[in-house]
Every structure is written in C-alpha cells, then in structure tokens.
C-alpha cells in the first residue's frame, strides 16, 4: 500500500512556496527524466533543465529563481536548496520495510541473551550466549552474532553479517550484508625456520553511534584493546580495517579502501575509493585522499588534500600527472638538448683548433 501525499502537504514539510494545484497527489519521488504523473521530482542541476519542460511529474521542487516555461503544468514548490529538500521528500516517503516481525521461529537466540523490547530477529540468525540487544534493534535473517556481543538500540544488522564474540555496536548504526566484524587481526611472528606463528588476537571491535558500514567489509579485532570506529563514521563497501585501527568521528571512507594495522585516522577525513594506508601512522583531522592514493607516513597537518601512490600534495600531484603523461616527449627534448650541446662543443673545439 503506497503512501500518498498532496503537493500542499509536501510544501508544508519543506517550508516552500507552492505554485499550481495544491491538491494533486503523488505516491513517491523519482528522477526528473523518468518521473510519472504519480510522482514528485526536483531540479537542482542546471544540466537537467531541459528535462523540466518534458517531465511527467505532477510536482517539481525547484530553486527560488526557477523560470517557469510557458504552458508548464506541474505544481511547483520553490525552496532555497532543491536537492536537500528532495532528500527530505525521500525521507517522507520512505516507509520502514524490514519485513521483520519479532523473533522469527527459525532464529536461534541463546537463553542467556538479553533481548530488549521491539527487537526483530530474522530466520536462520544465530544470537549467542550473553549477547545484549537494545530496543528497536533489527537483526535480519542469516546473521551470526557471537557470544557477549552488545548491540545498542535502534541499530540495523542486514543479512549475512558476521559479528565475532565480544564486539560492541553502538546506537543507530547500520551494518550491511556480508560484513565481518571482529575477525582475527593479521599478526604472525616469523620463526627461525621460516614458518609463521600466530599472535593471539584477544581484543575486540568497538563501533560507536550513528556509524554506517557497507556490504562485505572486514573489520578485524584488536590484538589487545580495541579496533575503534568512532561516532558518525561512514564506510562504503569492501573496506578493510585492520587490527587496532582507529577511525575518527565523521570520517567517510569510499569503497575498497584499506587501512593497515594500528593506523589512526583523524576526525572528518574523506578517503577515496581503493586508497591504502600503511600501518602504524597517524593522520590528522580533515585530510582528504583522492581515489587510489597510497598513504605512506604520518600526516600532522590538518585539512590537506593528497593524491598519488605514495601520496603527496594534491595540487602538486595533478601537475606531476600531466608531465608523466608526456614523459616520452620530455625525454626527446633532453635528447635534442644533448645533441645540440654536443654540436656546440664540437663547434667550440673547432673554433679552438682554428684559433691555434
């Protein structure tokens, strides 16, 4: 049963200025190029202005200075930031749809586990001994929650997630499918005979509040102490977080990045896709890393931008990239210089001989 909202109701929520039919009803949001007349859309990027004249949407959210084409039919809602307002519209239409209702008959929950009110647990999910699950937590099906794990309230754990023993997940977190939290850190001592001896990994992982973790990430437990993901961190998919790493508050990491053991990222950093950090370094707050960068050492400066492998100053890196692409030509220029210098030397010698 889809939700239905009128243009007037949307306008009230957005605190906008409505022009046109206030009573028209829409059942959901859509992009401008594919919206139907049951939908609401928005125009933020001027590149998409051409679609405005053609859109079938019944309601369109636009900026305050939008020029209404003649004969334009959709109801208009003028706001200061159409993109942000549209995000609000999406939130309005988003209905909770976990498909979960309480503890599924085919879930296994240990008797020693403490399950708060309004918790859902899906089929084929295992919740181990002495686990604590807070209010309003949704654990989907096919999840494994090891012994003594703590999950604080309002958190969602998607299907296929694995959380090893003793790890702690905060409030209002989201963990997507296939992610493994608390697997052993990668620690071995080389022996004299060339074999490696495993170093016990006895710590855990602590994930603070309002953290979102994408699909198929790996977050290793600490050797001792904790691997820590601070408040508000957002991790994309397929990210590697090694043992004893700490990621600072509100830092954002794109897909397939990797952070080696004991490295500390500061608050409010932005890490591009496929970036790698070596182990045992500290990165100050507010640093930004272009995709595929390799970060080889501690960064004490705050708020800088980096690129390259090894990473260096972003603007410098862009310039080096340009020269790199014409290195063969650069080398030819050196050859020309060498030939000309040789000619000048020969001329000089000739002159010298001539002078004698």
Residues 235-264 that bind its own copies (CB under 8 A): 236-238, 240, 242, 250, 252, 254-256, 258, 260
Round to whole Å and give the CA distance between 66 and 129.
59
What's the full length of the chain, in residues?
A: 356
Residue 115 Cα distances to 119, 122, 130, angstroms: 7, 14, 10
44: contact with its own copies by CB under 8 A: no
Round to whole Å and give the CA distance between 29 and 124.
34
Find the binding residues for its own copies in span 132-171 (CB under 8 A).
140-144, 146-147, 158-162, 164-165
Q: Are 132 and 112 in contact, with CB atoms under 8 Å apart?
A: no
**Residues in Cβ contact with 229 at an 8 Å cutoff, skipping those fewer than 6 apart:** 205, 206, 207, 208, 211, 213, 219, 235, 241, 247
Closest separation between CB of residue 71 and its own copies, Å? Answer: 27
**Residues in Cβ contact with 140 at an 8 Å cutoff, skipping those fewer than 6 apart:** 98, 100, 122, 125, 156, 157, 158, 159, 161, 177
DSSP 299: B
309: contact with its own copies by CB under 8 A: yes
Closest separation between CB of residue 116 and its own copies, Å? Answer: 22
Nearest to 290 by CA among 315, 271, 318, 267: 271
The binder of its own copies chosen from 17, 90, 114, 298 (CB under 8 A): 90
274: contact with its own copies by CB under 8 A: yes
Closest CB to its own copies among residues 21, 136:
136
The stretch near its own copies (CB under 8 A) out of 4-12, 13-21, 56-64, 232-240 is: 232-240
243 is catalytic: yes
Find the binding residues for its own copies in span 62-81 (CB under 8 A).
none
308: contact with its own copies by CB under 8 A: yes
Closest separation between CB of residue 284 and its own copies, Å? Answer: 15
Nearest to 276 by CA among 263, 290, 295: 295
Please report where in the chains the tokens 């012994």 appear, as a residue: 147
Closest separation between CB of residue 76 and its own copies, Å? Answer: 20
The stretch near its own copies (CB under 8 A) out of 4-12, 51-59, 67-75, 269-277 is: 269-277
* Catalytic residue, candidates 243, 250, 268, 354: 243
224: contact with its own copies by CB under 8 A: yes
The binder of its own copies chosen from 116, 215, 281, 305 (CB under 8 A): 215
Closest CB to its own copies among residues 20, 225:
225
Angle at CA 291, nearest 5°, toward 285 and 294? 70
Round to whole Å and give the CA distance between 59 and 79.
13
Site pattern 312..341 for its own copies (x: CB under 8 A): x---xx-xxxxxxxxxx-xx-xx--xx-xx
29: contact with its own copies by CB under 8 A: yes
The binder of its own copies chosen from 6, 48, 135, 294 (CB under 8 A): 294
Round to whole Å and give the CA distance between 304 and 317.
13
Round to whole Å and give the CA distance between 171 and 206.
12
The binder of its own copies chosen from 74, 82, 266, 273 (CB under 8 A): 273
Active site members? 243
């Amino acid at each position: 049963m889809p939700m239905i909202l009128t243009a007037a109701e949307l306008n009230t929520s957005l605190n906008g200025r409505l022009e046109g039919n206030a009573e028209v009803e829409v059942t959901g949001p859509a992009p401008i190029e594919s919206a139907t007349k049951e939908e609401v859309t928005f125009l933020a990027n001027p590149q998409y202005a051409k679609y405005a004249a053609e859109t079938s949407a019944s309601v369109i959210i636009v900026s305050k200075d939008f020029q209404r084409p003649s004969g334009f039919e959709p109801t208009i809602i003028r706001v200061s930031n159409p993109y942000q307002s549209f995000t609000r519209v999406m939130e309005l239409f988003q209905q909770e749809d976990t498909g979960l209702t309480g503890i599924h008959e085919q879930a296994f929950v240990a008797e020693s586990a403490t399950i708060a009110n309004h918790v859902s647990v899906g089929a084929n999910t295992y919740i181990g001994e002495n686990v604590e699950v807070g209010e309003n937590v949704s654990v989907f099906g096919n999840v494994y929650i090891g012994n003594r794990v703590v999950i604080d309230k309002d958190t969602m754990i998607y299907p296929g997630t694995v959380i090893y023993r003793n790890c702690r997940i905060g409030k209002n977190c989201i963990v997507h499918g296939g992610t493994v939290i608390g697997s052993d850190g990668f620690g071995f001592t080389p022996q004299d005979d060339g074999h490696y001896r495993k170093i016990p990994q006895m710590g855990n992982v602590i994930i603070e509040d309002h953290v979102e973790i994408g699909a198929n990430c790996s977050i290793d437990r600490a050797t001792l102490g904790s691997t820590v993901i601070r408040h508000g961190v957002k991790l994309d998919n397929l990210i590697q977080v090694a043992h004893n790493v700490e990621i600072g508050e509100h830092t954002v990491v794109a897909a397939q990045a990797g952070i080696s053991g004991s490295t500390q990222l500061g608050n409010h950093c932005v890490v591009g896709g496929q970036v790698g950090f070596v182990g045992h370094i500290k990165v100050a707050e507010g640093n930004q890393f272009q995709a595929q960068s390799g970060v080889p050492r501690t960064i004490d400066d705050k708020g800088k931008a980096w690129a390259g492998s090894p990473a260096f100053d972003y603007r410098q890196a862009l310039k080096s990239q340009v020269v790199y692409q014409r290195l063969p030509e650069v080398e030819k220029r050196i050859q020309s210089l060498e030939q000309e210098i040789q000619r000048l030397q020969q001329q000089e010698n000739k002159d010298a001989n001539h002078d004698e």
